[in-house]
């Protein structure tokens, strides 16, 4: 077998081996969903947190195609404060980007403050947040 043929075969084996490898993403996105929104809710201050220091949050962002404005501030590796504005209704209000190995059960959120269209403060009441894959 010629040197050229041997080199070609080795290159083919290496190329086929590379095709079989899969590279998992380093992070995943979890949705933050609002439950029991009030009919006049226009802005909310949310706190999103991991249950412990190993449950880090890489970033918080607006949901793709969402109708909300979002301002986020990192308060620690597993704690963020977020202001969401818009005509708030039940459903996805934001997304968390977390390490791939993280489970949605490690994350939660709290509605800290609510305002209506005239900027009047409303009590958070029964409004709640859930985090899901």
Length of the chain: 133
| Extents of the domains making up the chain | 25-132
Q: What is the DSSP string of the chain?
A: --HHHHHHHHHHHHHHHHHH-----SEEEEEEEEES--TT--EEEEEEEESSTTS---EEEPPTT-S-EEEEEEEETTEEEEEEESS--SEEEEEEEEETT--GGGEEEEEEEEE-TT--EE--TT-EEEEE-
Q: How far apart are the C-alpha atoms of 68 and 71, rounded to whole Å? A: 10
For 88-126, write each residue's pLDDT tens digit.
999 999 999 999 888 899 999 999 999 999 989 999 999
Res 42 pLDDT > 60: yes
On the question of pLDDT at 11 being above 90, the answer is no
User: Of 18-22, 123-127, 128-132, which range is least confident?
Assistant: 18-22
CA 105/CA 76 separation, integer angstroms? 19
- Retrieve residue 47's tokens: 């706190």
The mean pLDDT value of the chain amounts to: 87
Q: What is the pLDDT of residue 26?
A: 86
The whole-angstrom separation of Cα 124 and Cα 133 is 25
| pLDDT at residue number 86 | 96
Higher per-residue pLDDT: 16 or 35: 35
CATH architecture assignment, domain 25-132: Sandwich (2.60)
**6-15, 61-70, 72-81, 120-129: which has the minimum mean pLDDT?**
6-15
Q: What per-residue confidence (pLDDT) applies to 3?
A: 62
């Amino acid at each position: 077998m010629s040197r050229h043929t041997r080199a070609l075969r080795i290159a083919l084996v290496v190329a086929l081996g590379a095709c079989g490898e899969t590279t998992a993403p380093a992070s995943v996105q979890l949705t933050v969903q609002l439950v029991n929104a009030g009919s006049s809710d226009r802005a909310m201050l949310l706190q999103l947190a991991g249950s412990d220091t190993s449950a880090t949050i890489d970033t918080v962002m607006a949901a793709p195609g969402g109708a909300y404005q979002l301002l986020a501030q990192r308060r620690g590796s597993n704690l963020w404060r977020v202001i969401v504005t818009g005509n708030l209704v039940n459903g996805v209000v934001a997304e968390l980007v977390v390490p791939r190995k993280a489970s949605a059960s490690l994350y939660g959120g709290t509605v800290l403050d609510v305002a209506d269209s005239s900027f009047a403060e409303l009590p958070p009441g029964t409004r709640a947040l859930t985090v899901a894959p």
